[in-house]
Amino acid sequence: MKIDTTDARDFIDESAIWSTIERTENPDPSLVRETLAKARERKGLTQFDTAVLLQNKDLELDEEIFSTAREVKKGIYGNRLVLFAPLYVTNECMNRCAYCGFKADNSDLDRRTLTDEELSSEVRVLEDLGQKRLLLVYGEHPTLDAKWIAHTMQVVYDTVSEKSGEIRRVNVNCAPLDVDGYRALKDTGIGTYQCFQETYHRKTYEKVHLSGRKTNYLWRLNSLHRAQKAGIDDVAMGALFGLYDYRFDMLGLLQHAEELEKMFGVGPHTISFPRLEPALGSEMSYNPPYPISLHDFKKVVAILRLAVPYTGLILTTRENAEFRSELIKVGVSQISAGSRTYPGAYTDPEYDRPDVQQFCVGDSRSLDEVIRDVVQQGYLPSWCTACYRLGRTGEHFMELAKKGFIQTYCHPNALMTFNEYLNDYASPETREAGRILLENEVAGMADEKRRDLVSERIKRIDSGERDLYF
């Protein structure tokens, strides 16, 4: 693959970011309240508005930020929570990212690329646990190219557990590819393509990426443009919090989202906000250059929900169970659960070996335990993949999402996939708690016709039918 940045756009305006940060220093409480009133309209926030909320220092007003985020999230998503699991396919990597355990010069790491058979075995374990949506994760290596990545995606789609069925949506987090490479992923049925910029601050980016292709800031900054050009219209961005000033990276994320909207008519499908976690062989990961407090991190999540209300916000198991519950309340719409972060981990009887992991996991509970916990907190787990399979993606998805479609389609689809989970995978305790939630959810549906339709389909699932959706 030839790295060519002649057409690349440098759309991050660093001086505009700093000037916004300076202009919103210590904002007046009345301005914060005005901004929150605007956020309640669910039309999103400007960079200026976002910076006002980020820089509020009044703790009582911070609580208002959290409650507004809860309100907006509830209004758009209801109590649904989408579930997925990451699957690491290779930890071979040519890059030296100072913060990552997979970096090329980490000689203590046990390197491994899964064979097709090994990959299938991992997929079967995940299918038998009840996962339907996977995120495939890859290090970057010259021989493990786009064609090979597309091949591994196909292996995942082709692996159908006799007991449990199939994976219905494969998302990918891999290093930037060229347009042809992304086309190969599109042709193999990619769901969402994820690529995190890590930090939008160019000097810091150059400082933490020591060698390899990833040193090229512009190549990465335009990765989602190339994916869009190849026809992948669900693209996902993220920043790695802890590398640089979180206010800067938050505004960088918004500039990136605005750029995609301007160029392709649709912003990111999801945003991720990993926080630097300790990783074997990475000094920096133990001492983040810009550590972010739990309070500020919670603000980042809540304000993202207000700034881009219709964008999915993804929370991984990097954070611990208790903190995850708080973040879910203020805006998260998708979570991973039961995650293991190295190739072969799901079939490894000696799981939890530090010499193979990318970073340490903060929430190591099983999928079933997480489901029981979120159900007890009143959330409705969903494994829905209907939009992607019916072509409701990209701009089309966003348009529909804005018209309250989530309540009409996503809620019923969540109920049906949740009922599959309860029938096929849940432990007796989880099933008991889940059944009560399911009954209450159906009973609470305002549209009588829809309610009857859903009840009928739920019964069909109870008698053995699978994969029903609207």
Note the residues at the interface with ligand SF4 (CB under 6 A).
93, 95, 97, 100, 102-103, 139-140, 175, 214
The token pair that represents 433 in the structure block: 């708690």
DSSP secondary structure string for all residues of 307-351: HSTTSEEEE-TTS-HHHHHHHHHTT--EEE-S---STTGGG-TT-
Measured between its terminal Cα atoms, the distance across the chain in Å is: 41
**Residue that has been written with the tokens 């700093």 in this structure:** 18
Judged by beta carbon, residue 102 or residue 244, the one nearer ligand SF4 is: 102
Partner from ligand SF4, ligand SAM, none contacting 277, C-beta within 5 to 8 A by type: ligand SAM
Partner from ligand SAM, ligand SF4, none contacting 394, C-beta within 5 to 8 A by type: none
Q: Among 173, 336, 357, 393, indicate the residue that binds ligand SAM (CB under 6 A).
A: 173
Partner from ligand SAM, ligand SF4, none contacting 109, C-beta within 5 to 8 A by type: none
Q: Nearest Cα to 236, choosing from 220, 214, 257? A: 257
Contacts 24+ apart (CB under 8 A), 2-10: 2/178, 3/178, 3/213, 3/216, 3/219, 4/178, 5/216, 5/218, 5/219, 5/222, 7/222, 8/218, 8/219, 8/221, 8/222, 8/225, 9/221, 9/222, 9/225, 9/259, 10/218, 10/221
Judged by beta carbon, residue 127 or residue 140, the one nearer ligand SF4 is: 140
- Give the x-and-dash track for 288-327 against ligand SAM (CB under 6 A): ------------------------------x---------
Q: Burial, 392: exposed, middle or buried (Cβ in 10 Å; 0-12, 13-18, 19+)?
A: middle
Partner from ligand SF4, ligand SAM, none contacting 174, C-beta within 5 to 8 A by type: ligand SAM
Partner from ligand SAM, ligand SF4, none contacting 430, C-beta within 5 to 8 A by type: none
Judged by beta carbon, residue 198 or residue 234, the one nearer ligand SF4 is: 198
Site for ligand SAM in 199-218 (CB under 6 A): none
Minimum distance from residue 301 beta carbon to ligand SAM (Å): 16
Minimum distance from residue 208 beta carbon to ligand SF4 (Å): 9
Q: Nearest Cα to 78, choosing from 452, 450, 446, 368? A: 446
Minimum distance from residue 338 beta carbon to ligand SF4 (Å): 21
Judged by beta carbon, residue 70 or residue 213, the one nearer ligand SF4 is: 213
Partner from ligand SAM, ligand SF4, none contacting 173, C-beta within 5 to 8 A by type: ligand SAM
Binding window for ligand SAM (CB under 6 A); candidates: 12-20, 168-176, 202-210, 364-372: 168-176
Distance CA 79, CA 67 (A): 15
Residue 40 CB contacts under 8 Å (≥ 6 apart), including other chains: 68, 71, 72
Question: Taking a C-beta distance cutoff of 8 angstroms, is the pair 184, 232 a contact?
Answer: no
Amino acid symbol at 69: A
Site for ligand SAM in 234-293 (CB under 6 A): 240, 274, 276-277, 279, 285
Judged by beta carbon, residue 359 or residue 379, the one nearer ligand SF4 is: 359
Beta strands in 225-329 (DSSP E): 235-238, 270-272, 312-315
Site for ligand SAM in 124-143 (CB under 6 A): 137-140
Partner from ligand SAM, ligand SF4, none contacting 103, C-beta within 5 to 8 A by type: ligand SF4
Q: Which residues bind ligand SAM (CB under 6 A)?
A: 99-100, 102, 137-140, 173-175, 195-196, 198, 240, 274, 276-277, 279, 285, 318, 358-359
